[in-house]
Amino acid sequence: MLKYILKRLGSTVLILFGATLIAFIMVINSGDPLQDLREMQSDNVEFLMQERIERMGLDQPWYVRYWSWLSGILGCFAGSCDFGVTMSGQPVTPLILAAAEQSLRLVFVATMVAIVVGILTGIATAMRQYSLLDYVVTFFIFLFWSLPVFWAAVLAKEWLAIRFNDWILEPQFTWPAILTLAALLAIIVPLVLGGDPLRRIITGGIMFAFVCLVLPWMNAVNFMASPRLGVPIIIVASLVLAAGFTALIAGIRNRQVLYSTLLVVLVGIVAYYATWGLLQDPPGGWLLLGALFVLTVTVCVIIGRIVGGDARGQATAASVLTGVMMSILILLDHFMYHWPQLLSLKPRPIRTVGSHTPNLDSDFWVTALDQLTQLWMPSVLMALLSLATYTRYTRSSMLEVQKQDYIRTARAKGVNERTVVLKHAFRNAMIPLVTIVAFDFAALISGSVVVERVFGWNAMGNLFITGLQISDPAPVMAFIIVTGAVAVLFNLMADILYAVLDPRIRV
């Protein structure tokens, strides 16, 4: 495996070298970088032109200019990256680092949302092939897939930003809205869960009553302006997750797995109180949260291995999933705690332009909330556009795998359907999906150029388009090398994951 990885890294270097060489030649010949100066009537225009010629090396052969740029990129291996300077003399390195952080954050969030929702939807439709659920989901995912980005972005700005900002000033659910939402969920939830007609009627009635009780309660406590989960809700939700993951992975009667997940919930509640003061103003911000997340996963693995006994593999998986979801609930509770503070500084929390609010001077949580409110419109839009890919590939892969002999054998031996679907079918169906994830991530990076332009993000897309318009090669090449490196890295990860998902695959 190590030999294979080294080979792939070598081929990656050659691919990036060839791509940057071709792109550099095309960019420097795409226009006249002195065009704006030629149109000036200033007395010092000759001086300005000569200065730009020397700065950009326009008097040198193309291969000398390319080698000068490549030498700065190779300095990254020594810890001193130099992406060159723009036409105006501004260093590109700090620009591309700030822009890459915004673009990759957008693409990563959109990809994760699309993967989770798409895979779950694909499994559900494969298990209920040719049902009403299958037809309805197919219709909507292809509707999302066919939406023009610019038109969908306009709708998102209108309904997810402007209308929401108007509503959040006095966030109250009206009874017509409550009854409409309750009726929709009373239809959708039984459609997803399935069952006989009586079970669907009972499920729909429960959902209708639940919505009609919860939304008025949220009105009474002004939940949307001052939201909180609180310890009781976190405990109840965590216990439900623990039981759900246990039932899904090992069966609710497997006591060792159940005890592992319940112990994770207990440790999580203790950690909630122990870290509350530390997380009010976390030193290091996201770095500290990332370290705590790694610690959470480590503790969950230890609990699963120790308490799980003979079922330690299943206990570890259930414990990690329970711990991760509980961590998300705790993180959500902290964000909710600081939501009123954001509203006091920014009564209309969602801007239709930009990735953050300029000059917002506040603590970590408020700043992070501001970034998240600006992130959710473009990320949801990009996730919807990618949803069809993951849903259809998951559905087709699951249907193909279910026709295999080992699936029929497992069912004939009396293996329960949960084990057949999750352990035997889904794991093998994931193999083609790994390739799709790698390609889709690269496609989303290129697609984010349009989305960033529509939403006014000053990220890599803006650098790329501006550089092309004025024939400035440095920012364009920075965009190509960063996105190209991420794309080939994800393809390498996909090749490695093949052997992890299917032990029959050997490099």
Q: What pLDDT, in 10s, does the model give residues 471-482?
A: 889 999 998 888
Is 141 part of a structural domain of the chain? Answer: yes
Residues 6+ apart with CB under 8 A from 274: none
Q: What pLDDT, in 10s, does the model give residues 166-185?
A: 999 989 999 999 999 999 99
Say whether both 165 and 183 belong to one domain: no
Q: What is the CATH number of the domain that holds 65?
A: 1.10.3720
Is 95 part of a structural domain of the chain? Answer: yes
Check if the beta carbon of residue 321 is closer than 8 Å to that of residue 297: no
pLDDT at 274: 94
Say whether both 151 and 181 belong to one domain: no
Say whether both 161 and 14 belong to one domain: yes
Is 287 part of a structural domain of the chain? Answer: no
The CA–CA distances, whole Å, from 129 to 122, 134, 143, 191, 455 equal: 10, 6, 19, 13, 38
Q: Is residue 506 very low, low, confident or very high in pLDDT (cuts 50, 70, 90)?
A: low
Q: What pLDDT, in 10s, does the model give residues 289-302?
A: 999 999 999 999 99
d(CA 271, CA 252): 26
Host H or E run for residue 15: helix 2-28
Say whether both 82 and 197 belong to one domain: no
> Which of 199, 221, 243 is a domain's end point?
221
Q: Of 158, 170, 151, 171, which is closest to residue 352 (Cα–Cα)?
A: 158
Say whether both 165 and 202 belong to one domain: no
| Phi-psi sector, 351: left (phi>0), alpha (psi -120 to 50), beta | beta
Cα radius of gyration rounded to whole Å, the chain:
27
Is 272 part of a structural domain of the chain? Answer: no
Is 412 part of a structural domain of the chain? Answer: no
Say whether both 31 and 157 belong to one domain: yes
DSSP 273-318: HHHHHHHHS-TTTHHHHHHHHHHHHHHHHHHHHHH-GGGHHHHHHH
The whole domain housing 506 covers: 1-169+388-403+424-507
Number of residues that make up the chain: 507
> Which of 221, 246, 261 is a domain's end point?
221
Say whether both 132 and 1 belong to one domain: yes
Is 54 part of a structural domain of the chain? Answer: yes
Residue 503 has pLDDT above 70, yes or no: no
Burial of 267 (0-12, 13-18, 19+ CB in 10 A): middle
Say whether both 98 and 188 belong to one domain: no
Average of per-residue pLDDT across 48-59: 87
Q: Of 248, 288, 183, 281, which is closest to residue 426 (Cα–Cα)?
A: 248
Is 62 part of a structural domain of the chain? Answer: yes
Q: What pLDDT, in 10s, does the model give residues 337-380?
A: 999 999 999 999 998 888 888 888 888 999 999 999 999 889 88
Q: Is residue 87 very low, low, confident or very high in pLDDT (cuts 50, 70, 90)?
A: confident
Say whether both 36 and 162 belong to one domain: yes
**From 128-132, 398-402, 426-430, the region with the lowest mean pLDDT:** 426-430
Say whether both 58 and 191 belong to one domain: no
Q: Where are the alpha helices (DSSP H) in 87-196?
A: 92-127, 132-145, 149-156, 163-168, 175-193
pLDDT at 376: 87
Q: What pLDDT, in 10s, does the model give residues 258-279?
A: 999 999 999 999 999 999 999 9
Say whether both 467 and 447 belong to one domain: yes
Check if the beta carbon of residue 473 is closer than 8 Å to that of residue 85: no
Is 150 part of a structural domain of the chain? Answer: yes
Domain count, the chain: 2
Q: What pLDDT, in 10s, does the model give residues 106-131?
A: 888 888 898 889 988 998 888 888 88
Angle at 30 between CA 27 and CA 33, to 5 degrees: 90
Say whether both 143 and 198 belong to one domain: no
Q: Tokens standing for 456?
A: 């006014």
Q: Of 444, 417, 381, which is closest to residue 144 (Cα–Cα)?
A: 381
> Which of 203, 221, 239 is a domain's end point?
221
